[in-house]
Amino acid sequence: MSTTAVVIGAARGIGQAIGEDLAQAFPTDRLVLADIDLDAVERVADSLRARGVDAVARHVDIADEKSVSNLVAATSEASRVAIAAGVFDSAPTLQVDVADFERIIRINTIGCFDVARHYAGRMAERGTGSIVAVASIAARMPRMRQAGYAASKAALRQALRVLAMEVAADGVRVNTVSPGPTDTEMMRQLASDHATVDDLADGSLLAFRPRIPAGRVARGSDIAAAVRFLLSPDSSHILLGDIVVDGGELLGM
């Protein structure tokens, strides 16, 4: 049966991978790709339309409540929503600028939560729907120089669990996926002092980063597969869940 799927933060990286995965897994869906970078997300939508996918691009700034409300109003029928928007910053904690900390929380926590609660409300009215947000293993494992990012993802996970409890009886499922290091454009820039992103899999004693047992970092497709599962009927009895996709870095803890 045809439905509408929305991917927030779909212009690049994990969000783009999620959009491409959903297009293949649910070929009859109308796919709405939203991002703050409209030109970039238009290019992603164009590439999918060239393959026969019913894909449209929309602008959204998740730090702007009105922008979020406009997107949700225009896609109120959505029954699958993936939230992959977010920002990253790294600085020694003693040197963290409060404005930068607030910006990360505003986007990664409040912005993503705002998207989720608005869609959850629409889904609750219809009695069905699934929402998945991309969190991070940084919500569980402290990362050097990532106080703001780790705090934002930990807060997002817990806020969405509360939301999930409150809308479960209305037939709405809310879950998260927590990636470990993932080979994206942003990660390649952050790991520019490594020969390859996969070198991060070796870990670092100085940074208190454990080795990744799988021997490589994640690909966008690894994260997208977990998101797709949680958005599909195959996961109908999973809610308040968090699927960790980290190649074993957390050792299952």
The Cα 49–Cα 155 span in angstroms is: 36
- Position 192 pLDDT exceeds 50: no
In percent, how much of the chain has pLDDT > 90?
Answer: 86
Structural domain boundaries of the chain? 4-245
Under the banding of pLDDT at 50, 70 and 90, the label for residue 194 is very low
**CA 24 from centre of chain:** 18
Radius of gyration of the chain (CA): 17
> Residue 50 has what pLDDT?
97
More confident residue, 204 or 235: 235
- What is the arithmetic mean of pLDDT over 25-41? 97
- Position 207 pLDDT exceeds 60: yes
Active site residue 119: no
Total-model pTM: 0.94
- Position 199 pLDDT exceeds 80: no
Under the banding of pLDDT at 50, 70 and 90, the label for residue 114 is very high
Q: Which of 57, 81, 149, 218 is catalytic?
A: 149
| Mean per-residue pLDDT over the chain, rounded | 93
The Cα 67–Cα 36 span in angstroms is: 10
- Position 191 pLDDT exceeds 70: no
> Residue 196 has what pLDDT?
55
Instruction: Summarize pLDDT for 125-139 with one digit per residue, the tens.
Output: 999 999 999 999 999
The Cα 10–Cα 36 span in angstroms is: 9
Which residues, listed in sequence order, are joined to residue 54 by a DSSP beta bridge? 30
What sign results for the dihedral spanned by CA atoms 241, 243, 249, 251? positive
Q: What are residue 40's phi and psi, to 5 degrees?
A: -65, -40
- Position 208 pLDDT exceeds 90: no
- Residue 5 in tokens: 């799927």
Where does 4-245 sit in CATH, by number? 3.40.50.720
Length of the chain: 253
The residue type found at 154 is A
- Position 195 pLDDT exceeds 60: no
> Residue 231 has what pLDDT?
98
> Residue 193 has what pLDDT?
43
- Residue 168 in tokens: 């479960």
Instruction: Summarize pLDDT for 142-160 with one digit per residue, the tens.
Output: 999 999 999 999 999 999 9
Instruction: Summarize pLDDT for 41-100 with one digit per residue, the tens.
Output: 999 999 999 999 999 999 999 999 999 999 999 999 999 999 999 999 889 999 999 999
The Cα 146–Cα 91 span in angstroms is: 7
